[in-house]
Chain A
Amino acid sequence: MEFNESFILGCSAIGAGLAVIAGIGPGVGQGIAAGYGASAVGRNPGAKGDIMSTMLLGQAVAETTGLYGLLIAMLLLFVKPLI
């Protein structure tokens, strides 16, 4: 069966949309990290600087998986590897 170009483009767009669902995980993870960060600041306000930097570092690392999904979406939409 022969697929034409617009069919592949449409499927790529659907695939890109599915790929950015990967953003759910980092969102939940960053929220949990921020919540625990807030409770840690509440328990020990003196260590606010250390808690902030540790939290931001962890969040930025946790963000990576979501960015991989974004990258796949970008590749599907703009580089068009399947055509």
Chain B
Amino acid sequence: MAETTPPIVAVRNLSKSYRRGQQTVPVLQDISFDIAPGEFLALMGPSGSGKSTLLNLIAGIDKADSGTITIGGVEITTLPEAELAAWRAGNVGFIFQFYNLIPVLTAFENVELPLLLTGLTRRERRDHVETVLSLVGLADRMDHYPSQLSGGQQQRVAIARAMVTDPEILVADEPTGDLDRVSAGEILALMERLVHGFGKTIIMVTHDPRAAEQAHRLLHLEKGELTDGAG
């Protein structure tokens, strides 16, 4: 399915290094690849291979040293910070290993958060939030605080939050890393549904072979370089 349509993500000659004291540590070296719309991509590799950095770069929360990332025709590597923030708000949804929900806000309010940056009315926001929360199966837990939810439920709230602005791309950093088998299975099933039912593109960093199995394609990173292509 990737051959006919133009890629939604195009990564070209991407390089990035960190400074540790005096030393410069290369993290990503001259990486290029494409992601097709509706693809479920898993990034794998040992710790320190640069997979999280690559994810952050694609999500527009970190800056590359050289190379370009073009997403949906927008070259995000050249966008200034303020425009990048606005772009993120509309085009990317985030799912984190530790859910990163705001503990003082209810499930409903956490999901509502990204909508506060849009011009939607209260009524419209309410509709959107209720829709995504029932999509992830938590319509009955809207007024619970994160501390009153299980890990799997919290991750589902986080997915609802990522989905609520209807972005084309979802990025997930170890989404099942902190969950038990059953919960992890539910989360993966939910993600699968987002790809098939809603046409989302998901890029996921994972250690979990079961999670990787679910993906359409695997990218292996080793010492900042891609070791193989399709999966």
Q: Do A and B form a real pair?
A: no
